[in-house]
Structure 1
Amino acid sequence: MTIKKKLGMGVVTAALGLALVGGGTYAYFNDTEVSANTFAAGTLDLTLDPQVIFDVDNLKPGDYMLRSFELQNTGSLDIASVLLDTSYSVTDVDNNNGGEDLGDHYVVKFLKNEGHPEGWLDNDEYTVIYEKSLSELSTMTPDDLAVELEDFLWWDYEQDGIPAGGTDYLSVKIEFKDNGQDQNIFQGDSLELNWTFTAEQEEGEER
């Protein structure tokens, strides 16, 4: 081995020795802070009271039903809007409806209460602000219906949406319309109505 290589090996060995000694004896100040962060999502919880709004039998053309019900925000987040989707099915007991849809003969009327801020109806204290047959409502998307109802604010008229812990009061009238013609084909038939209420959150904001 040449003198140059021997010197090189000696320098490496010495540097390694200094590093080992320094690692055991060198001291320095140190300070640590820990940031513990939490992100918890809120809840959007819409409650319908009562859940069964209509349960009526022995109906005849000309009969009508007035009902009031509540949409309660039992979640922790404010509800910006509630969308309504309508679907129904008809049981034709005699199979003799001949293409006639019983849903054409039931008319839904959304009502504005007069003099009752809590929303409950008295028979003569309301105004019809919007009406459609069940068959018409069933062909509308919830968004389309919301657009048509936007000008009427058919739930609580003093607030926008439903704040957390708040309640909106709705009133509707459904009428088995008497069209002045022979409606005997619907005797004994029944209609099952499903209303789906979907709550939507408010837009996101800086927190």
Structure 2
Amino acid sequence: MTLKKKLGMGVMSAALGLSLVGGGTFAYFNDTAETNNTFAAGTLDLSVDPVEIVNVGNLKPGDTIFRPFEIRNDGSLDIDDVFLATDYKVTDAKGDNAGADFGEHIRVNFLYNADKDSVPVFSKTLKELKEEYSNGKDTNVVIFWDEFWDELFNGYLAAGTQDNLYVEFEFVDNGQEQNVFQGDSLELKWSFTATQFEGEER
């Protein structure tokens, strides 16, 4: 066998030996421990009772409508804020309103949260509420008012609880002729939006 062949056989033998060492098995002790983990999201579930707060006809200037209602937290998470957004649609019975807005003549004298001792809306027409609080991020109906300290504190709506609210609407008698609104109707939509507390270390 020539020297060249002997060297080639040696290189091949060495490569085979290295592959056996690298691909071989060897014994060792081992132990395994496992964990089972669960991530479950909580729920925000806000409801209003009754869903139709006001349904009244034959209104005339000077009439007031007082109604109680409640907001409930039927979810598993505490609610930080409940924001109110206002929208409405007017049906002009005779088509002669000439730009006059019935919503400018219906006023919320107060919206009172009895459980938080707060008045989130005071003496605002529906037109003002629609213009000022239409995005649902301004009027918080669960904020807490501390009369003793004369300061505002952040209230909240705990899971499984409700707040009792009272509202009074008034068809404002402005002392002038308001005949253009005879037979008109207004559909008011109040949207209550609940928000969570900020995340925390758990």
CA shift digits 1:101-147 (9 cap, x unpaired)? 1111100022447xx7699xxxxxxx997120000000013333349
Amino acid across the alignment from 1:182: E
Aligned 1:76-155 pairs, distance under 5 A: 76-112=76-112, 130-141=122-133, 142-146=136-140
Distance 1:30 1:159 in 2: 55
Find the residue that maps to 2:132 and give its secondary structure. coil
- Residue 168 of structure 2 is aligned with which of 161, 168, 173? 173
Question: Are residues 152 and 13 of structure 1, via their aligned partners in 2, closer, same or farther at CA, if it must alter by over 3 Å?
Answer: closer
Amino acid across the alignment from 1:144: D
- Residue 6 of structure 2 is aligned with which of 3, 6, 10? 3
Amino acid across the alignment from 1:32: T
Question: Are residues 194 and 170 of structure 1, via their aligned partners in 2, closer, same or farther at CA, if it must alter by over 3 Å?
Answer: same
CA shift digits 1:69-121 (9 cap, x unpaired)? 010000000000100000001111111111111111100022447xx7699xx
Distance 1:118 1:10 in 2: 88
Identity %: 47
The two structures have a TM-score, normalised by structure 2, of: 0.83
Find the residue that maps to 1:109 and give its secondary structure. strand
Q: Which runs of 4+ in 1 moved over 3 A?
A: 13-20, 116-119, 144-147, 149-153
Amino acid across the alignment from 2:138: D
The answer as to whether partners of 1:47 and 1:73 remain within 8 angstroms in 2 is yes
Find the residue that maps to 1:57 and give its secondary structure. coil
CA drift at 1:193: 0.4
The answer as to whether partners of 1:106 and 1:176 remain within 8 angstroms in 2 is yes
Paired residues, number: 191
Distance 2:68 2:44 in 1: 23
Q: Do residues 194 (structure 1) and 189 (structure 2) align?
A: yes
The two structures have a TM-score, normalised by structure 1, of: 0.81
Instruction: Report the equivalent of 2:15.
Output: 12
Which consecutive residues of structure 2, in runs of 5 or more, have no partner in the other structure? 147-151
Instruction: Report the equivalent of 2:43.
Output: 43
Question: Are residues 167 and 16 of structure 1, via their aligned partners in 2, closer, same or farther at CA, if it must alter by over 3 Å?
Answer: same
Distance 2:143 2:21 in 1: 80
Question: Are residues 94 and 67 of structure 1, via their aligned partners in 2, closer, same or farther at CA, if it must alter by over 3 Å?
Answer: same
Question: Are residues 100 and 86 of structure 1, via their aligned partners in 2, closer, same or farther at CA, if it must alter by over 3 Å?
Answer: same
Amino acid across the alignment from 1:69: F
Distance 1:4 1:71 in 2: 91
Distance 1:15 1:6 in 2: 14
